[in-house]
Amino acid sequence: MLDFQCEYWESHLRFPDWYRHLEDELTSLFFPVVHDDPKLKAFRNQVYTLIAELLARQQLPLAETGPDLDTARRPVDTIVIHHTEEYPVISLDRLAHGLLRLSLADPAGWHCRMAPGG
């Protein structure tokens, strides 16, 4: 039985190395690809919502120092969003905070194109 306990998740997400504190939960509840499990999907969405709220309140620790792991990356020139098993109507906030967090230097220069069969 999945029982979302907000206080538990919020207290662990406040550590700079929250991913280590939540390693067991991430490994068992988030990493596996699971289809047709509405209870698991609902549980995951409660965690995603909490993370979005913590980001919005600037209460989720993000790295301020350390190695720049992005220096070797080339600029993003294409974004492909495949079909998703998320809810059919997904807010832009959920997309930005939970699924697709990108910073684009010139968003006006980007074009959206529907893939064949999409």
Q: Is 31 helix (H, G, I), strand (E, B) or coil?
A: coil
> CB–CB of 24/33 below 8 Å?
no
Residue 6, pLDDT above cutoff 60: yes
Where are the domains positioned within the chain? 6-109
Q: Could you report the per-residue pLDDT of 24-60, keeping only the tens digit for each?
A: 999 999 888 888 898 998 899 899 889 988 988 989 8
Q: How confident is the model at residue 73 (pLDDT cuts 50, 70, 90)?
A: confident
Per-residue tokens: 72 = 């070797």
Neighbours of 47 (CB within 10 A): 19
Per-residue tokens: 75 = 């600029």
Q: Could you report the per-residue pLDDT of 8-32, keeping only the tens digit for each?
A: 999 999 998 898 999 999 999 988 8
